[in-house]
Chain A
Amino acid sequence: SQQGEEDPQALSIQEGENATMNCSYKTSINNLQWYRQNSGRGLVHLILIRSNEREKHSGRLRVTLDTSKKSSSLLITASRAADTASYFCATDANRYGNKLVFGAGTILRVKS
């Protein structure tokens, strides 16, 4: 099964609203990353948070990490139509060695 699993699978909001996506994982990690994928394109790295960090910001993005619950959340504030995309979390779980394991993603649709 996937190391990282996003929730919800799909999310539809109005422009200007906030969007929150969650990621749960199973084993201990060194870091957790969030990526965005526009339809039919490659993934773009958004943010990396290390296991000793609890919160990180980048522009309108806010990521939290709770290692005790093995979960992370990605908050996009004041969403825009251009934020419409799929969002994936990826973990580096120690037992997976020199690679990342991606979840199935959350499809975000921002309506204008």
Chain B
Amino acid sequence: SQTIHQWPATLVQPVGSPLSLECTVEGTSNPNLYWYRQAAGRGLQLLFYSVGIGQISSEVPQNLSASRPQDRQFILSSKKLLLSDSGFYLCAWSAYGGRETQYFGPGTRLLVL
């Protein structure tokens, strides 16, 4: 069966520090991968998605970047965190394209102080 992992679960970082969040998927090949951010009490905002290694689509201009160095690994990064980067970050994968069912990881709660 397929599983998706995210780490860390919680992160507290000072403004201006770098960020690296990792997401890995097991049990499937060539998944579509997604990074979302969720503000408190709000819906999900799609940040990046990837249909293959090295292929990244950015949805909104921002302080973040994403990379996909391996088929089942998706990394969210920042060189310098802003207060506004605080939120709940969710990684998801889908098997047949983004319009079909997406399976979410447990999320990373980021607090930038």
Instruction: Give A residues with C-beta under 8 Å from B.
Output: 2, 30-31, 33, 35, 40-45, 48, 88, 90, 92, 97-105, 107
Contact = CB atoms under 8 A, between A and B. Distances in A.
Contacts of A102: 36, 43-44
A99 B46 contact: yes
Interface residues of B, number: 26
B49 interface: yes
A99 B96 CA distance: 11
Contact of A98 (B43, B97, B103): B97
Interface of B: 32, 34, 36, 41-44, 46, 49, 51, 59, 88, 90, 92, 97-107, 109
B102 A98 contact: no
Contact of A48 (B90, B97, B101, B103): B101
Contact of B99 (A42, A43, A45, A92): A92
Given A42-B105, A44-B104, A92-B99, 19 more contacts: A30-B99, A33-B101, A41-B107, A42-B106, A42-B107, A43-B44, A43-B92, A43-B102, A45-B101, A88-B44, A97-B98, A98-B32, A98-B51, A98-B98, A99-B34, A100-B98, A102-B44, A104-B43, A105-B42
Nearest to A33: B101
Given A41-B107, A42-B107, A98 B49 contact: yes
Contacts of B109: 40
